[in-house]
Structure 1
Amino acid sequence: MPHVYYNSWISDYKKPFGAVQPNEKITFQVDVHESHRSEVQFMVRKENGAHDEKAYLMKGIGDNRFSYSYAPHEGKGLYFYYFAVKWKDDKGEEMSAFWGASSVKGEGKLYHNLHEVIPYQLTCFEKEENTPDWYREAVFYQIFPDRFYNGNPDGQVNAPKRNSFLYGDTRDTPLYVRGQKGEILRWDFYGGNLEGIRQKIPYLKDLGINAIYLNPIFQAASNHRYDTADYMKIDPMLGDEKLFKEIIEKLHAEGIHVILDGVFSHVGRNSIYFNYDGTYGEDEGACRNQESPYYPWFTFTDYPNKYASWWGIDDLPEVDKFNKEFQDYIYQDDGSVIDKWSKLGVDGWRLDVADELPDEFIAGIRHKLEQYPEKVLIGEVWEDASNKISYDERRQYILGNHLHGVMNYPFRNTVLDLLQLEKTPKELCQRLTQLHENYPKDILFNNLNNIGTHDTKRIYTFLGEDKARLKLALSFLLIAPGIPCIYYGDEAGVTGEQDPDNRKFFPWEDIDQDIFKHCQRWITERKQNSTLKYGDFVLFHTDDMLGMLRFTDEEYTIYMINPHDEEKTCHADKLHFLRKVPLTEEVIKGILKDVTIDGKSDFFVTGKI
């Protein structure tokens, strides 16, 4: 049996690292040690390509190494490859084995049976996804508008909705008012509004924020506003279009950009488009008039009471995204939804439930945004977006001309697994390096990183209200490649279980200053440290600690986390880097030799290369 070795993360075996563009040459090399003469083949196929799997004979180049240079020539998409080794045993019988990926890819493993082989993924993308400088240098802050601040001088709630519930005090715990079947009987509101955001601009600037991601602000029945009633109107509880325009201008003047939440998979049942309850007229909307221009947007199975809805939730009728009139309304026509808000100064969009939007729909929005300068398009995808399959289709999210990046939930999962000691540092380094390999470089660095959102338990609660671990989570968020996004209140020590408890009103009178200052300090470091904004990265680990090296051609930053309660010492001979680094072994040992890190603490150093 031959000894075979290949590691897609090491440049000696695969160069260049990671995703490539069509017709870009890649050199693959594999080591095969076998006393008898061996034949090594590079096996490759493009998913849904025009050709079946192809075999290419690799050339022996000495020292038991075999090489082949390949260029993906069937355009963008996913290519899958492995290596076949053939030899004759002592009896002259032909034998074969196969080197493919393991569950964590990278180093891979030897397989004896072809049907067991897990191939390596090679991502081939159409074009680089360059984003404007403002985005690459951004530190985002996610605001759930109803829960941030009420800017009215008397604290009154703007335009209260019928059949709603208003809290008596902003310190009250959020609670859904439900019926016997679990349905919402009364939507609950605290009264946060756009004027409140304007008045808190000094707070955001003091923290160091220079970009805002707003949860939905269009007219809707609920407090979360993912049940859009009218895409063309600001919800009256928040303000109006005139005020919104003023706030956008004020934010821009203060160096703060804004992206909106685009909820285009579904609308609200009580919307101008569906009009279940007749709010917009007895004979208006798809649910009340089959002659309505909106009727073709929806799929009825038993008119008017049974219809397709998002995840079976009656309150959220699903829209047919292939409907030409809906596409025209959202992005195609002059005066579309994307047109209107882009002209008012919005800097980009985060697409809600991107899995529910066809690739052509996402591409259409992107094409429209290209007509405006310096806009970005981010998608909500919870998994590795490079190989995501939804509704039986491999998605094109990150292959060019679709999304600039995605919400990086795999990063959040890594942070939580590290700080809760659920996985080893080695396993987590491998997980993040796999994403690094699968994503085009621009996409990875455009991803919107988070450690908490309106859809997750509060990070402070997740970590058992352990302040030291929360600080590590915030530090790692601001050190890592990608664009950091802080969920409102995480910097203030807000706690909360799942929705609705994770959507408390911001505690303006009870901000944890220790956490705030910690977050503020790391934001300042990120904004003034070019390696953290633009630098590449390599992950490394010891048995107990995880580290990250960020670097440009001129500078480096090294960051290590000790997630354990006890102090740990870094011994240079126990360091394991997953990829080649731009620093010599001597320099690395000089920096990290016998570094001792207190329990639940970190180590940070910068220098010149």
Structure 2
Amino acid sequence: MEFKNNKLILKNKKLAFSVTSDITLTFLLDRDICPTSAKCVLKNDNTELLTIIANDCYLDKEFICYDVSLQELSIGLYFFEFYVYTEVKTFQCNELILIYNNLNIVKAINNGIVYHIFIDRFSRGGCISKRTDAVYFDDWYNTEPEFGEYPGDYIPNNSFFGGTIYGIIEKLDYIKSLGTSCIYLSPVFESYSNHKYDTGDYMKVDEGFGGDKALKKLIDKAKEKDISIILDCAFNHTGDDSVYFNKYGKYSSLGAYQSQESPYYSWYNFREYPDVYDCWWGVKILPKTVRTETFKNFICNNVLPKYFDMGITGIRLDVTDELEDELLGEINSTVKKYNGVIIGEVWEDASNKIAYGNRKKYFLGNELDGVTNYPLREGIINFILTKNNTQLIDTINTLELHYPDHCLYNSLNFLGSHDTNRIITILSGISGEGIKGSELTNLKLTLNERSQAKNLLKFAFLLLLTMKGTPCIYYGDEIGMEGYRDPFNRRPYPWGKEDNDILEWTKTLCKLRNTEKISGAISFIETRLECIAYQINKNFICVVNLSENDEIINLDGYYSDLITEKIYKDNYVIIKSNSCILIERIIKNE
């Protein structure tokens, strides 16, 4: 990877090391440079730790080479600056080094596809009693979700389409047909809303979804198909309508809002009791929790053990940036007793993230196993919309450089989620930003817009499913469901009305991902900016050509097209304009 000045290059492709590793950094300087001296400075966030004089160098065919050995670094995040001095100029290379504990590494989701389900909108099933304080829509196909005119407008979120955990059980064959090895469920805990991020009772699965009995049955039935379950957990806040806060007195408990003598009073920060309190981003129905010893003990000794004992594989932590290292460490200690996996919701590079003024320690070995890979998502979308591969290539290289392998493999690579516009809508180039909800509800892609966006979505899925990491498909993306911002990105799955063209494409790629192992170490092949091409594990080549011109890629043997089964016997392959290819080497040239 090149930094600042392409005459000085860092040769290392990985800067995340286990604490037991021997570390050598290798720097390459153009041979036409005449260096006088060199040094490496190692720092952490607060202090310059050491300076290594690196005047010893050696030559290879193209470069002057410097090796810098770093010994006995303890677990933590470091930063280095490497300088090469000449009589007239200084060359500099800066990067980070991450040293992690390798004692509790898990690869629980490193096989197959993760399928992300927003429960209320996926599938009905079972006989579920209806609440008297909620609205239920009978028409699954033609009713729009409750919406506000603009983002942030208040809506009760107490309207339901009736999707349940029993409905998921009935669709397990479909879910498995996508190559799924893990289902990631939106929150299941008892809550007032349809999205369930406003937890009412952590110790109960919402009866509207089928309750504890339904979750246990799903876990057992999914296991029969080699599918595991991950639960979405919001511990940063609860609902105001909860056992713990009990603002409306619906629960029999003595809630923090009701009395300062409540056993839960210390879980919240009241500024003016009882009506002024800290809440998540100013949303009054989501009072923030204070991570007292009683709160942490409750989560780690009661909540998590209950669901892991039921048989879940792991958890996804909502708004992880707002959770303290101490809480994350205690959650990790609990989850590792079950050899479980912890995925954090992080929107940036998680290796060196600063959140709320604190450097996070996500990947040092005692907190997260992986994260939601938003940087990769943004890179794929950027490449397809701008027809420029720079950001995507930089993102892939940076993630490879910064993330420990197990964290990269366990990170969820996705194109859409419950927090983003639907991917096919994004790829249409129509953002919906600034448009009223009452207009968005009727705003659908034209046939021509959808056709073009669908072709781009196929490219996006090809890129996604050939990347190192764990592919995660948000329900309905595999059939090209449309939708703008929340809640239009959470419409019911249109059973019987699927777009089978994109569905079959997705299934084909998912099958190849699981059977041919079309992901792994990537080496980029030089192309024009409008095209991206890379070799995978030295045996596969993936190319997406968004250019108006054909792209020619040289081959080193006979290759087979994994989608069309065409055999390429020439020393090159032509990728037509606005097309893609995935080929496997079957015979190597001698």
Matched, 1:349 2:315: yes
Deviations 1:16-39 (A, max 9, x none): 633223352214234266787711
Specify the alignment match of 2:29 in structure 1: 31
Cα distance change on mapping 1:556 and 1:32 into 2, 3 Å: closer
* Residue in structure 1 matching 2:407, options 443, 466, 469: 443
Determine the C-alpha separation between the residues in 2 that align with 1:180 and 1:393.
29
Distance 2:135 2:82 in 1: 63
Q: Distance in 1 between matches of 2:541 and 2:159?
A: 46
Aligned counterparts of 1:179 and 1:61: Cα–Cα separation in 2: 62
How far apart, CA to CA, are the structure 2 residues paired with 1:150 and 1:35?
69
Counterpart code for 2:472: C
Task: Give 1:606 deviation, angstroms.
Answer: 1.3
Gaps of 5+ in 2: 429-449, 560-567
Question: Does 2:477 match 1:478?
Answer: no
Question: Is the 8 Å Cα contact of residues 127 and 401 (structure 1) preserved in structure 2?
Answer: no
Asked if the contact 1:151–1:195 (Cα under 8 Å) also holds between the matched residues in 2, the reply is yes
**Mapped partners of 1:455, 1:72: distance in 2:** 43
Structure-1 residue corresponding to 2:8:
6
Partner of 1:59: 56
Contact kept, 8 Å, 1:210 with 1:257, in 2: the verdict is yes
Instruction: Write the distance in 2 (CA, Å) between the matches of 1:62 and 1:181.
Output: 60
Q: CA deviation at 1:512?
A: 0.8
Name the counterpart of 2:349: 384
- Contact kept in structure 2, 1:6 and 1:29, CA below 8 Å: yes
Q: What are the within-5 Å matches in structure 2 for residues 165-564 of structure 1? A: 165-171=135-141, 172-176=143-147, 182-185=153-156, 187-281=158-252, 284-321=254-291, 323-331=292-300, 333=301, 336-373=302-339, 375-421=340-386, 424-464=388-428, 465=450, 466-532=453-519, 535-543=520-528, 544-551=530-537, 556-564=539-547
The answer as to whether partners of 2:553 and 2:573 remain within 8 angstroms in 1 is yes
1:70 alignment partner in structure 2:
69
Q: Identity over aligned residues, as a percent?
A: 32
Name the CA shift for 1:591/1:557 in 2 (closer, same or farther; >3 Å). farther
Q: In the TM superposition, what is the alpha-carbon distance from 1:194 to its structure 2 partner? A: 1.1
Rounded to whole Å, the distance in 2 between the matches of 1:448 and 1:225 is 21
- Deviations 1:29-72 (Å, cap 9, x if unpaired)? 342667877112222223345x5452423313247725233215
* Structure 1 residue 600 displacement after superposition: 3.0
For residues 68 and 569 of structure 1, the distance between their equivalents in structure 2, rounded to whole angstroms, comes to 38
Instruction: Give me the TM-score of the superposition, normalised by structure 2.
Output: 0.87
User: Residue by residue, what CA displacement relative to the aligned partner does 1:321-373 show, whole Å, maximum 9, x if unpaired?
Assistant: 2x110000001x3xx10100000011100111110111121111111111114
Taking a change above 3 Å as real, the CA distance of residues 4 and 529 of structure 1, as seen in their structure-2 partners, is closer
Secondary structure of the residue aligned to 1:325 is helix
Counterpart amino acid of residue 604 in structure 1:
L
Distance across 2 between alignment mates of 1:181 and 1:434: 34
CA contact (8 A) 1:298 1:319 kept: yes
Instruction: Supply the distance in 1 between the matched residues of 2:369 and 2:358 (Cα, whole angstroms).
Output: 20
CA-CA distance at 1:139 after TM superposition: 0.5
Contact between 1:472 and 1:600, CA under 8 Å: does it hold in 2?
no
Could you tell me whether the CA contact under 8 Å between 2:157 and 2:194 is conserved in 1? Answer: no
Deviations 1:198-218 (A, max 9, x none): 111121122322210000011
Which residue of structure 2 aligns with residue 575 of structure 1? none
Q: Residues 563 and 188 of structure 1: is their aligned pair in 2 closer, same or farther, counting only changes over 3 Å?
A: farther
Query: Which residue identity lines up with residue 230 of structure 2 in the other structure?
Result: I
Q: Spell out the pairing of 1:104-115 with structure 2 (5 A cutoff).
A: none
CA contact (8 A) 2:146 2:157 kept: no
Q: Distance in 2 between matches of 1:379 and 1:520?
A: 27
Contact 2:39 2:51 in 1 (8 A): no
Using the alignment, how far apart are the partners of 1:197 and 1:125 within structure 2? 38
Is the 8 Å Cα contact of residues 176 and 188 (structure 1) preserved in structure 2? no
The answer (yes or no) to whether the contact 1:40–1:57 under 8 Å persists in 2 is: yes
What is the distance in 1 between the residues matched to 2:290 and 2:223? 35
2:41 corresponds in structure 1 to 43
The answer to whether the 8 A contact 2:459-2:580 is kept is: yes
Shift of 1:162: 3.8
Gaps of 5+ in 1: 89-94, 101-118, 573-584
Partner SS state of residue 219, structure 1 = strand
Partner of 2:96: 121
RMSD of aligned residue pairs (Cα, Å)? 2.6
8 A contact 1:567–1:596 mirrored in 2: no
**How far has the Cα of 1:485 moved from its partner?**
0.7
Tell whether the 8 Å contact from 2:512 to 2:518 is kept in structure 1 after alignment. no
Mapped to 1, the partners of 2:511 and 2:156 lie a distance apart of 45
Assess if the C-alpha contact under 8 Å between 1:265 and 1:353 holds in 2.
yes
Q: Summarize the Cα distance change of 1:31–1:233 in structure 2 as closer, same or farther, 3 Å threshold.
A: same
Question: Aligned partners of 1:280 and 1:412: how far apart in 2?
Answer: 41
Q: Secondary structure at the match of 2:311?
A: coil
What per-residue deviation string (whole Å, max 9, x for no partner) do you get for residues 81-112 of structure 1?
22333455xxxxxx662412xxxxxxxxxxxx
Q: Confirm or deny: 8 A CA contact 1:258 1:346 kept in the other structure.
A: yes
Instruction: Indicate how the Cα distance of structure 1 residues 180 and 253 shifts in structure 2: closer, same or farther if over 3 A, else same.
Output: closer
Residues 592 and 264 of structure 1, relative CA distance in 2, 3 Å threshold: farther
| Aligned equivalents of 1:179, 1:600: Cα separation in 2 | 36
Shift of 1:567: 4.7
Q: Aligned-pair distance for 1:419?
A: 1.3
State how far apart, in whole Å, the 1-side matches of 2:152 and 2:456 are.
39
Deviations 1:527-576 (A, max 9, x none): 101353xx32223341131123221xxx6211111134x3522254xxxx
Q: Distance in 1 between matches of 2:228 and 2:40?
A: 48
CA distance in 1, matches of 2:558, 2:356: 47
- Contact 2:8–2:91 (CA under 8 A) maintained in structure 1: no
Q: Take 2:332 and 2:352, find their aligned partners in 1: how far apart are those partners?
A: 20
C-alpha distance 217-512 of structure 1, shift in aligned 2 (>3 A): same
Output the amino acid matched with 2:579.
S
**Structure 2: distance between partners of 1:21 and 1:429:** 25
Task: Count residues in correspondence.
Answer: 547
CA distance in 2, matches of 1:230, 1:178: 31
Would you say 1:595 and 2:561 are equivalent positions?
no
| Conserved 8 A contact 1:42-1:58 | no
